[in-house]
């Protein structure tokens, strides 16, 4: 039963997140690179478990917070240290954009988030070249960096 659990049973279409699933866990790779994982989040924590059974390696992470980006970096660091496969880090280059053009971006935005609507406040400090976005409910502020045109990343 354990072997069936970590064997590819179903392939999900991209509409449902894509990838292969065993019995209750996501499954990727084959042979030595076979991995199974399961993650989750609830208000106040994010968790992820990734195991490479044919390599005898695995990592379980539980963090307080609701952002999963840090978990991906921890898994990547683990993969680099212990020689297991991992998704490559996405590298982005900060674009050169006239900060004065950002002034019109300041304001309050509504973003659908599941069945809720998240309110985001965007502020611009053109003199310092800073665009920030904050969520009063999540009590979180992040700097937005220009990618190109009107596309930004944190």
- The tokens for 87 are 């998704």
Least Cα distance to 87 among 23, 8, 142, 18 occurs for: 18
- The tokens for 123 are 């502020």
Average pLDDT over residues 56-72: 84
Q: Beta strands 20-21 and 26-28: pairing type?
A: antiparallel
85: pLDDT strictly greater than 80: yes
CA gap 96, 153 in Å, rounded: 13
For the chain, the residue count is 154
SS3 115: coil
pLDDT of residue 137: 74
**SS3 sequence of 48-101:** EEEEEHHHCEEEEEEEECCCCHHHHHHHHHHHHHHCCCCCCCCCCCCCCCCHHH
Contacts of 84 (CB under 8 A, 6+ apart): 33, 35, 52, 55, 57, 78
Average pLDDT over residues 89-114: 82
Q: How confident is the model at residue 57 (pLDDT cuts 50, 70, 90)?
A: very high
pLDDT of residue 1: 92
What percentage of the chain has pLDDT greater than the value 70?
Answer: 98
Q: How confident is the model at residue 67 (pLDDT cuts 50, 70, 90)?
A: low
The pTM score is 0.62
Q: Beginning with the edge strand found earlier in the chain, give each strand of the sheet holding 130-135 in spatial order.
A: 107-113, 116-125, 130-135, 140-148, 151-153
């Amino acid at each position: 039963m354990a072997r069936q659990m970590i064997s590819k049973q179903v392939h999900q279409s991209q509409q449902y997140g894509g990838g292969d699933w065993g019995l209750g866990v996501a499954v990727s790779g084959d042979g030595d690179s076979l991995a199974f994982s399961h993650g989750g989040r609830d208000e106040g924590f994010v968790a992820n478990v990734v195991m490479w059974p044919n390599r005898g390696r695995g990592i379980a992470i539980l963090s307080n917070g609701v952002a999963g980006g840090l978990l991906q970096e921890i898994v990547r660091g683990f993969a680099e240290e212990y020689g297991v496969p991992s998704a490559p880090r996405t590298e982005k280059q900060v674009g050169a954009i006239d900060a004065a053009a950002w002034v019109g971006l300041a304001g309050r935005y509504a973003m659908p988030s599941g069945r809720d609507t998240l309110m985001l406040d965007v502020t611009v400090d053109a003199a310092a070249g800073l665009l920030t976005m904050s969520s009063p409910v999540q009590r979180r502020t992040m700097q937005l960096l220009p990618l190109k045109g009107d596309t930004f990343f944190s």
